[in-house]
């Protein structure tokens, strides 16, 4: 199912990239952002998150896609994260952080959640982690099964 979703994402987003120069510019910027992400995350996590948290662009001066195309921006971020296969970072972390940066820049007050749980729910198994976003305390375009059972270890920013 996941592979089919990824294929559908590519088939949906790639044609629009060919036709829209603003989307191509955003996508290229996302790819650069993702390429620097491992070195940014090499330090303390709160410092890294502060460094990638943008100041929102006022809508009147923005030459970007704009919040009216939030879905487009989210899909571009998802595709950029998916195509960054050489990254040492997991897909959920890449996707969450690229979405976080670019959507917050457009004024959407997302919060990154970092959680952990025992694999298969059994304490004798290894611990696995997951990153996802929330908006107003609710998961932001995240399938329930992807964050179910994870204990939130860190939320950033913590005061949103």
Q: What is the pLDDT of residues 110-141, one digit of tens each?
A: 999 999 987 776 667 788 889 999 999 999 99
The model's pTM: 0.84
State how far the Cα of 148 lies from the Cα of 25, in Å rounded to an integer: 35
On whether the CB atoms of residues 34 and 76 are closer than 8 A, the answer is no
- pLDDT of 63 reads 52
What percent of the chain is modeled with pLDDT above 90?
A: 56
Would you kindly state where each structural domain of the chain is located, as residue ranges?
A: 2-156
- Angle at CA of residue 144, ends 104 and 41, nearest 5°: 45
**Of 2, 5, 66, 76, which is closest to residue 34 (Cα–Cα)?**
76
The end-to-end CA distance of the chain, in Å, is 33
Q: Is pLDDT larger for residue 32 or for residue 5?
A: 32
> How would you class 104 by CB atoms within 10 Å of its CB: exposed for 0-12, middle for 13-18, buried for 19 or more?
buried
- pLDDT of 16 reads 81
Longest Cα separation, the chain: 54
| Beta strand ranges found along the chain (DSSP E) | 111-118, 127-135, 138-139, 151-156
Q: What is the mean pLDDT of the chain?
A: 85
- Angle at CA of residue 27, ends 160 and 55, nearest 5°: 30
Q: Answer yes or no: is pLDDT of 146 > 70.
A: yes
Q: What is the pLDDT of residues 11-54, one digit of tens each?
A: 677 778 888 889 999 999 999 999 999 999 999 999 999 999 99
């Amino acid at each position: 199912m996941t592979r089919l979703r990824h294929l559908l994402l590519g088939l949906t987003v790639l044609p629009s990239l060919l036709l829209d120069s603003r989307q191509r510019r955003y996508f290229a910027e996302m790819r650069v952002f993702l390429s620097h992400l491992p070195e940014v995350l090499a330090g303390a996590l709160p410092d890294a998150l502060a460094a990638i948290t943008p100041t929102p662009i006022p809508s009147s001066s923005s030459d970007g896609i704009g919040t009216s195309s939030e879905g487009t921006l989210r899909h571009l971020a998802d595709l950029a994260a998916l195509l960054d296969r050489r990254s040492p970072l997991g897909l959920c972390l890449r996707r969450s952080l690229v979405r976080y940066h670019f959507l917050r820049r457009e004024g959407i007050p997302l919060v990154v959640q970092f959680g952990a749980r025992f694999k298969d729910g059994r304490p004798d198994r290894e611990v696995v982690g997951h990153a996802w976003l929330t908006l107003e305390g609710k998961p932001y375009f995240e399938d329930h099964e992807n964050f179910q059972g994870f204990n939130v270890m860190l939320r950033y920013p913590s005061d949103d």
